[in-house]
Amino acid sequence: MHKTTLKEKSTHGTPLFPLHIYSKVREREYHVDFHWHEELEFIFVEDGVMDITINSETRHVTKGQFIFINSGDLHKVTSKGPSIHHAIVFHPQILNFDYPDISQSSIINPISKGFLRFPSTAEIDGNLKKYLANNLITIIEINKAESDLSALRIKIVLLEIILELYENQLFGELQTSVKEKQENIKKVITYIQDNYDKKILLEDLASLLSMNKNYFSKYFHTAIGKTPITYINEYRCQKAAELLKSSDLKVLDISFIVGFENFSYFIRKFKEHKRYSPAQYRKKFYIEEYAK
């Protein structure tokens, strides 16, 4: 099987202005599994509810709310119902000043290199949160206008966001232990995504990090918020859902293709993760997929 990497390969924006806003309107569910990128990502939810997992923390981001995703963070974005969200993805180097003044050396450079991290929204009070949300809306509107001055205007608003967060002492410092755990979990999840269609033993995953299986299970659960087995089952069910929507393969065949050895166990786990049996899921989403 072709080896995958969790690092996103997409180029965001242009070489002259590496920023892009992805606006996603979904009538049904939305799912992007764990991945990471060097760019910063600010997600603003215009409507609906998004479940956004960053490393081990899952937050329900509702209409009018936002979340910051730092460079290198493993993150997953899902929604079980209708939703509209905008992902502002940009390389932190666009914040850099050519002249190395004190703000460049003490604030912008540490942000650009990932040493200063944007905070969790739980740390931000109501008034500041509203101010920041309005700034994100402004960036989205500026981007839609496609003016020759859009890049400058967006950069100014980004710097205003940074100024407010810095004045309120909300930036955190990257801890070496956090970085090491991120790299370890990326290695494990990459292995799972490369081998989900085969038998995966807990011992195989633990050996990737030179751990015993009991310690590894606790380590993984702390980092991701779920056990390795739960994550494997969820990933296999997601792959099964994609096949149910895009093919006419038999449900039994799909269960084996995505790595389940027991058909009744597959049915139970699929219903647990997707709220429908595989047959119900296909009936609900297969027709809609090809009616577009």
Domain boundaries, the chain: 19-173, 176-291
Q: How confident is the model at residue 236 (pLDDT cuts 50, 70, 90)?
A: very high
Query: How much is the pLDDT for 110?
Result: 94
- For CA atoms 262, 263, 268, 270, give the dihedral sign: positive
pLDDT of residue 290 exceeding 70: no
Query: How much is the pLDDT for 177?
Result: 78
Q: How many residues does the chain have?
A: 292
Q: How confident is the model at residue 286 (pLDDT cuts 50, 70, 90)?
A: low
Q: How confident is the model at residue 285 (pLDDT cuts 50, 70, 90)?
A: confident
Strand 19-26, strand 83-90: pairing? antiparallel
CA atoms of 33 and 275, how far apart (whole Å): 18
3-state secondary structure of 236: helix
**Superfamily for 19-173?**
Regulatory protein AraC (2.60.120.280)
Query: How much is the pLDDT for 291?
Result: 46
Amino acid at 257: I
- Residue 167's DSSP bridge partners are none
| Burial (CB count within 10 angstroms: exposed 0-12, middle 13-18, buried 19+), residue 169 | exposed
pLDDT digits (tens, 9 = 90+) for 46-94: 999 999 999 888 999 999 999 999 999 999 999 999 999 999 999 999 9
pLDDT digits (tens, 9 = 90+) for 139-192: 999 999 988 899 999 999 999 999 999 999 999 998 877 788 889 999 999 999
CATH number of 176-291: 1.10.10.60
Check: CB of residue 223 under 8 Å from CB of residue 265: no
